[in-house]
Structure 1
Amino acid sequence: MTEESLVSPSWLGQDSTTWASGGGGPLDNSTGLGTFPQEDIYTPSQLPLLVNPWDIVLCTSGTLIACENALVVLVIWQNPSLRAPMFLLIGSLALADLLAGLGLVLHFTCAYLLRSDSAQLLTVGLVVASFSASVFSLLAITIDRYLSLYYALTYNSERTAAFTYTMLVLLWGLSLFLGLLPVTGINCLEEEASCSVVRPLTKNNVAVLSVSFLLLFGLMLQLYVQICKIVMRHAHQIALQHHFLAATPHYVTTRKGVSTLAIILGTFAACWMPFTVYSLIADYTYPPLYTYATLVPATYNSVINPLIYAFRNQEIQKALWLVCCGCVPSSVAHRARTPSDV
């Protein structure tokens, strides 16, 4: 059997193949992944396939991501009242995460059934484009929230809607470009030594994605700091009018809103930062376990996004209640929007 005939069903290249030996061959205990028997007596189609449990975890995460975000997309799509810039950006985030979840499921299916490099390139390209759109949508939501506070009097103008559409076109165009890079030839299929921790992406490709993420995270951090300053300044001005800062309900809810912003940013960093940093310092020679251990938490960000940005929103909550039971509880219908909803 020649090396060229072997097709890796995993994300991580030939060293992480999950084929098991037909005659009960040994397993590599360092990664928990199968190895080939020494006798070349089987063709690839005859070799039994041992599924990598980490790939099962990624596929399961993808299924959860797809189902959860499909509900958000459906609710926003079916409700004409949810057409404000804020909801368009939340819908963009949900659509990106939905495609990312589908990409994870398709990659698992194609890798273990088709075992084709072409299918691998397409599914990895879809995953890259989708997760890029997800991160860009998070940045767009942050920009929108900043503008809604800084330009509160003119935020609801047509200019804001035009700016939102421009952001959507740019973020999806750039995401599509990044996703097409592996498909159009910028991959490591011809030169294994140039592979990154995620095959078939090259080390340079992943480095560009990682550095871009760090820059976007820095920009989001700066914007959220400015948002916190604006919210706290407004709360302080209102509290002074009541002559008792600590006792005002608005001050309490504002402090809760600032805590919410910290949770949003902290969750985003906790999910993506390990994989981003690891991608910069590692290459294909590193143990596959490390890649999976950092990649899986990154996918969890797409599980958490609907909980933070969609299901907490009062208008989306009403739409969900109408879809599920045809009514809206009074506790949801009459809840006033507070700074904790930022």
Structure 2
Amino acid sequence: MSENVIAHLSLNLSCRWSRVLEASDDTNVSAAVASVDSMNPLNPINPWDLAFCITGSIIAAENSVVIAAILHTPTLREPMFLLIGSLATADLLAGLGLIFYFIFQHIYPSDMTSLTSVGLLVASFSASVCSLLAITIDRYLSLYYALTYSAERTASCTYVMIVLTWVVSSLLGLLPALGWNCLKDMAACSIIRPLTKNHIVFLAVTFLLVFALMLQLYTQICKIVCRHAQQIALQHHFLTTSHYVTTRKGISTLAIILGTFAACWMPFSIYSLVGDISFPSIYTYATLLPATYNSAINPVIYAFRNHDIQKALLLLCCGCLTTGVASRARTPSDV
């Protein structure tokens, strides 16, 4: 068995280096060496890529739990939970995309797998950002139209936002596979191959616009919350400690949400505008890795802190434990 493996490796190496020796000048030698390297299915593992894969696994695990809790609990069908479910689905796909990128990059590298993995990442992260915007819009409308924002209207608005989120995100993810890539023109490549410079700049500008809109909406939400607190104080002729604590807690939560979103995505967005493919790749990794953390933090902010989802997770865990105990009880004991 070992002799066959050695013979196979020797034949493979001889075939590869024969292509290099056939090159007639330095340019052809470089091209031949590049083609030889591309034939190796096991590229050396980059620690940064390994970090992305580990982060993707954590993201996929967290958001799978959120999706399972929402699907398992019939009471979690309100518009707010549908938006949280959309966000969890987008983040789940982002986690899977990071895992697939690692697999395709180091086990089966090719142009097709590169387009597929990068397209999935673009679509999933775009859907995640758009879902965050949709949640912000829903919260603003629910406060601004507190009396007229009925369940019917809320559901219709929610469905429209979810459909728009996934249609736009899917189109953005399909653009590289449809031809908007730099596979045939390396000079047009951005800091993330095979995305072009124009594509990555478009994504960065879009994020900055989304962030500006979210900042404006959260500012309006804070004003509405403070105005409601003042109205309550005038009705009761004093501002109780509970009202003050609730208002401050609500504003602090909004600041944490917006601050986390900006801290995760702003470095990569700015670097996408000023960075170039000639820059050291460590800058790309150092700015892109924090952006992926946003998908790991989203379940904590939007799902695990929600009391209804906490109850659903508890019931789900208890149900699994009960099923496991019942199955063991039905198993005949050893004689």
Q: TM-score range by the shorter chain?
A: 0.7 to 0.9
Question: Bigger radius of gyration, 1 or 2?
Answer: 2
Conservation of the 8 A alpha-carbon contact between 1:75 and 1:316:
yes
Specify which of 244, 253, 256 is matched with residue 251 of structure 1. Answer: 244
Offset from partner CA, 1:147-178 (integer Å, 9 cap, x none): 11111112233122111101111110000000
Distance in 1, Cα, partners of 2:293 & 2:184: 32
For residue 243 of structure 1, report the CA deviation from its aligned partner: 3.0
Q: Which residue of 1 aligns with 2:110?
A: 116
User: Please, which runs of 5 or more residues in structure 1 have no aligned partner?
Assistant: 1-21, 23-35, 328-342
Distance in 1, Cα, partners of 2:278 & 2:306: 45
Instruction: Tell me the amino acid that sits aligned with residue 313 of structure 1.
Output: N
Specify which of 181, 185, 191 is matched with residue 175 of structure 2. Answer: 181
For residue 46 of structure 1, report the CA deviation from its aligned partner: 5.3
Q: CA 1:52–1:315 in 2, change beyond 3 Å: closer, same or farther?
A: same
Q: Which residue of 2 aligns with 1:333?
A: none
Distance in 2, Cα, partners of 1:50 & 1:76: 40
How many residues are paired up? 292
Task: Report percent identity of matched pairs.
Answer: 65
Q: CA 1:47–1:268 in 2, change beyond 3 Å: closer, same or farther?
A: closer
1:189-268 correspondence runs (5 A): 189-245=183-239, 247-268=240-261
For residue 307 of structure 1, report the CA deviation from its aligned partner: 0.4
Question: Residue 82 of structure 1 aligns to a residue in which SS?
Answer: coil
Conservation of the 8 A alpha-carbon contact between 2:53 and 2:98:
yes
Distance in 2, Cα, partners of 1:41 & 1:187: 20
Q: Does 2:47 correspond to 1:53?
A: yes
Distance in 2, Cα, partners of 1:284 & 1:77: 43
Specify which of 145, 156, 163 is matched with residue 151 of structure 1. Answer: 145
Offset from partner CA, 1:77-100 (integer Å, 9 cap, x none): 121111111000000000000000
Q: Which residue of 1 aligns with 2:56?
A: 62
For normalisation by structure 1, the TM-score amounts to 0.81
Q: CA 1:249–1:40 in 2, change beyond 3 Å: closer, same or farther?
A: closer
For residue 241 of structure 1, report the CA deviation from its aligned partner: 3.0
Conservation of the 8 A alpha-carbon contact between 2:41 and 2:109:
no
Conservation of the 8 A alpha-carbon contact between 2:41 and 2:107:
no
1:1-342 correspondence runs (5 A): 43-44=36-37, 45=39, 49-245=43-239, 247-326=240-319
For residue 238 of structure 1, report the CA deviation from its aligned partner: 1.3
Conservation of the 8 A alpha-carbon contact between 2:72 and 2:316:
no
Question: Residue 57 of structure 2 aligns to a residue in which SS?
Answer: helix
Offset from partner CA, 1:188-214 (integer Å, 9 cap, x none): 111111011111000000111010101
Question: Residue 182 of structure 1 aligns to a residue in which SS?
Answer: coil
Question: Residue 302 of structure 2 aligns to a residue in which SS?
Answer: helix
Instruction: Tell me the amino acid that sits aligned with residue 110 of structure 2.
Output: S
Distance in 1, Cα, partners of 2:242 & 2:81: 27
Q: Which moved more, 1:110-119 or 1:135-144?
A: 110-119
Q: CA 1:281–1:244 in 2, change beyond 3 Å: closer, same or farther?
A: same
Instruction: Tell me the amino acid that sits aligned with residue 316 of structure 1.
Output: I
Question: Residue 93 of structure 2 aligns to a residue in which SS?
Answer: helix
Distance in 2, Cα, partners of 1:278 & 1:314: 38
For residue 250 of structure 1, report the CA deviation from its aligned partner: 1.7
Distance in 2, Cα, partners of 1:182 & 1:306: 29
User: Please, which runs of 5 or more residues in structure 2 have no aligned partner?
Assistant: 1-16, 18-28, 321-335
Offset from partner CA, 1:116-149 (integer Å, 9 cap, x none): 1100100100000000000000000000000111
Offset from partner CA, 1:268-290 (integer Å, 9 cap, x none): 00000000000001121111000
**Which structure is higher in helix share?**
2
Question: Residue 261 of structure 1 aligns to a residue in which SS?
Answer: helix
For normalisation by structure 2, the TM-score amounts to 0.83
For residue 40 of structure 1, report the CA deviation from its aligned partner: 5.1
CA-atom RMSD in angstroms: 2.2
Distance in 2, Cα, partners of 1:46 & 1:181: 28
Distance in 2, Cα, partners of 1:318 & 1:40: 58
Distance in 2, Cα, partners of 1:225 & 1:304: 22
Conservation of the 8 A alpha-carbon contact between 2:42 and 2:106:
no
Q: CA 1:253–1:206 in 2, change beyond 3 Å: closer, same or farther?
A: same
